[in-house]
Structure 1
Amino acid sequence: MGKIEWAMWANEQAIASSCVTALGGFIAAIGQFKNWQIGVYAIAAGVLTFALEYPRGKRQKGTSYERSFQRPLTIIVSQGRLLTRNYFVRFVLYLALSVPCCFVLPTLLGALCLMISGFIYLLAAVKGEEWHPVEAKKDEPGPKTIQEPKRPPPRRPETSGTPGAVESAQVNNRV
């Protein structure tokens, strides 16, 4: 069996938790809950988390595929160097983002999801994983056109020298 890549699990968990956090923030802000300002904070935290997590990282096996429209965000995350590529930093960031969201009921579930994402990133960092951008596949060298057939139709079957094959080849030629 292969080695588990924890960063891929954490990435999917963080994308889902960013949506849950933003949705809880909308509910808190629109519903005018007590401390509804935390709801506005949760919306901003969800958007920031989504922008950081949407670019999919390269797998260790190299079989990664880009998400649709991830190229601009990949460039931004690549330029962040230590702040965006290191999983220890993401662990601390997600824990720090989730603490204020724990004080309002609609954002509590999003905060717990962000904490879980952070702990999965901690496990990925302990295992030595790091974010690398997915590289675009280059065109493979080779012929660009289809080769033409060497014999014109009708193409006769090859005979193997057995008497049955010769008879079947003669029957096919009559048609």
Structure 2
Amino acid sequence: MWQIGIYAIIVGLVTLLLEYPRSKRRKGKHDHERSYQHFATVVVKQGGLLTRNYFIRFVFYLVISVPCCFILQTVLGAVCFIITSIIYLTAGVRGEEWQPIIPQKAEQGPKVIAEPTRPPPRRPDAASLAGSRDNIASPQDSRV
């Protein structure tokens, strides 16, 4: 029975390699790679149709979950693989497929910062505040 445990560890590593690279979104601009995703993306991209098509992933996860159902220690992993295969089946029915995120080069901005057109705001000096207080008439002075 220990052979199934070794099988589960190897299948887990293969799953990590297959699932780590994030796919490009169909809509939106928020495609961000995970850290060190580029290395796994190259491997998955080389797999071609076998790694890109979600129907094939559905069958793959369903098949690899079967041996894990035979002993209690790996049943939870088998249930996770079955749920994953159902998710991939629904994604395949919707017509989705894995596409690599191709990083785009950032556009370089100007190297020289343009000088400001207005001066920055400044706090008034204490001397100018004291002088302005003398010029302001208080309400008591107006009654006289």
Provide the residue aligned with 1:69 in structure 2. 36
Q: How does 1:87-126 map to 2 (within 5 A)?
A: 87-126=54-93
Identity %: 58
Match of 2:107 in 1: 140
TM, length-normalised to structure 2? 0.78
Q: Does 1:48 align with 2:21?
A: no
1:64-90 deviation per Cα after TM superposition (whole angstroms, max 9, x unaligned)? 211101101101111111000000010
* Structure 1 counterpart SS, 2:82: helix
The equivalent of 1:4 in structure 2 is none
For the structure 1 residues 149 and 40, does the alpha-carbon distance in structure 2 shift closer, same or farther, using more than 3 Å as the test?
Answer: same
Provide runs of 4+ in structure 1 moved above 6 Å: none
Q: What's 1:128 paired with?
A: 95
State the aligned residue count: 125
* Displacement after TM superposition at 1:49 (Å): 0.4
TM-superposed CA distance for 1:141, in Å, is 4.6
The one-letter code matched in structure 2 to 1:102 is: C
Out of 62-71 and 41-50, give the one that drifted further: 62-71
Gaps of 5+ in 1: 1-34, 157-170
Q: 2:51 aligns with which of 64, 84, 92?
A: 84
| Greater Rg over alpha carbons, structure | 2
Q: What is the root-mean-square deviation in Å for CA atoms of aligned residues?
A: 2.2
**Correspondence 1:39 to 2:1:** no
Q: Paired residue for 1:11?
A: none
Could you say which structure has the greater relative contact order, defined with CA pairs below 8 angstroms and 6 or more residues apart? 1
2:23 to 52, 57, 77: 57
Shift in Å, 1:36: 1.3
Distance in 2 (CA, whole Å) between partners of 1:69 and 1:39 is: 28
